[in-house]
Amino acid sequence: MNESSDQPTVYENLNAEQAIEQALARGEGSLAENGALLVTTGARTGRSPADRFIVREPSTEDAIDWGSVNRPFDADQFDALWDRVADYAAQNDQFKSRLHVGADNEHYLPVQVNCETAWQSLFARNMFVRVDDNEYNPKDKEEWSILN
């Protein structure tokens, strides 16, 4: 939270040094001898294969092999869940990064990753393609949003 008010602070497009500085200031991790940020992810340290859901709607209906791995999720339920998570996120500090998925200038996807912690934002910066503001989404494609 912003120290001068009770309003959450939104940190946008922090570079690695800034994200590490925020993570350390918030007690999210510590530095290793080589300067790498060390964090503990908590009780859930791996993927959750049983928690894979895809919104079943016209564009996915015939494109997905529905079953025990690719389980359908109702669009209205998704919208309600998204709204709940977005409302929660809006009440807390957020770390937003505008990144690309894919390096090809024709086939990239623009994404805005919204994280609750600085270290998660740093992870996203390492996972996806970092671009300068003036290089973000040059084809003006529809932006995807990730709430983490």
- pLDDT > 90? residue 43: no
Q: Could you tell me which residue, 47 or 59, shows the higher pLDDT? A: 59
* Section 116-139 average pLDDT: 94
Structural fold of domain 10-39+48-147 = Phosphoenolpyruvate Carboxykinase; domain 1 (3.40.449)
Instruction: Give the pLDDT score at 127.
Output: 96
- pLDDT > 90? residue 41: no
Instruction: Give the pLDDT score at 44.
Output: 73
Instruction: Give the pLDDT score at 4.
Output: 61
Instruction: Outline where 10-144 has alpha helix (H).
Output: 16-25, 58-61, 75-90, 118-127
* Section 83-108 average pLDDT: 95
Q: How far apart are CA 60 and CA 63, in angstroms?
A: 5
pTM, rounded to two decimals:
0.85
Instruction: Give the pLDDT score at 2.
Output: 57
* Section 15-37 average pLDDT: 97
Give me 145's structure tokens: 């949003």
* Section 4-17 average pLDDT: 90
